[in-house]
């Protein structure tokens, strides 16, 4: 009787895997193209002070006791100018040292919670503000505040 010869064929059921390979190739290419190595991210806690303006009002007690880092944007040089106690500081190490010393003065006066206030102009790039925050954290200073303008009248 004529029929399919199974001579020498161990597996009588043959599965055609070519379409499967095609589909897996397509999926692989899709995922390879859309794949992106994710940058490791983290966060700085920057919780807002509850009693100072969180309800929209201006702080009643103006804190003069602070370490204030002023930051301005130099349009011509396209860079940020940083000042601490009227002294211009360009170097990161120097700024870190000055912040540390200024904060240590408050710690010596039994005021370890005295914050470092970052008073940056609106045009200052965010990366430069984060750099100052990073220097503070490096020195073990967790109390960092952002100087904000008064909210518009309701």
Distance of CA 49 to the CA centre of its chain: 20
145 in Cβ contact with 116 (< 8 Å) = yes
Closer to another protein by Cβ: residue 88 or 137: 137
Closer to another protein by Cβ: residue 81 or 128: 128
Least separation in angstroms between residue 103's CB and another protein is 15
Closer to another protein by Cβ: residue 88 or 123: 123
58 in Cβ contact with 51 (< 8 Å) = no
Least separation in angstroms between residue 84's CB and another protein is 17
Closer to another protein by Cβ: residue 8 or 108: 8
Structure tokens at 23: 């589909």
Closer to another protein by Cβ: residue 16 or 108: 16
Of 125, 114, 115, the residue nearest 71 (C-alpha): 125
Least separation in angstroms between residue 40's CB and another protein is 4
Q: Which residues bind another protein (CB under 8 A)?
A: 17-18, 20-21, 24-25, 27-28, 31-32, 34-36, 38-51, 53-56, 71, 73, 78, 120-131, 133-134, 137-138, 146, 148-149, 151
Least separation in angstroms between residue 135's CB and another protein is 9
Residues in the chain: 154
Least separation in angstroms between residue 35's CB and another protein is 5
Sign of CA dihedral 137, 139, 142, 147: negative
d(CA 78, CA 152): 30
CB atoms within 10 A of CB 130: 12
């Amino acid at each position: 009787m004529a029929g399919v010869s199974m001579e020498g064929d161990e597996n009588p059921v043959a599965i055609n895997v070519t379409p499967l390979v095609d589909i897996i190739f397509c999926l692989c290419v899709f995922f390879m193209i859309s794949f992106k190595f994710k940058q490791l991210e983290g966060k700085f806690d920057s919780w807002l002070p509850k009693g100072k303006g969180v309800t929209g009002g201006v702080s009643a007690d103006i804190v003069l006791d602070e370490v204030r880092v002023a930051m301005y944007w130099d349009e011509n040089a396209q860079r940020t100018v940083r000042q601490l106690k009227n002294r211009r500081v360009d170097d990161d190490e120097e700024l870190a040292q000055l912040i540390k010393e200024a904060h240590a003065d408050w710690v010596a006066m039994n005021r370890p919670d005295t914050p470092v206030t970052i008073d940056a102009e609106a045009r200052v790039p965010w990366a430069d503000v984060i750099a100052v925050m990073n220097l503070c954290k490096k020195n073990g200073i967790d109390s960092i505040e952002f100087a904000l303008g008064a909210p518009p009248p309701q």
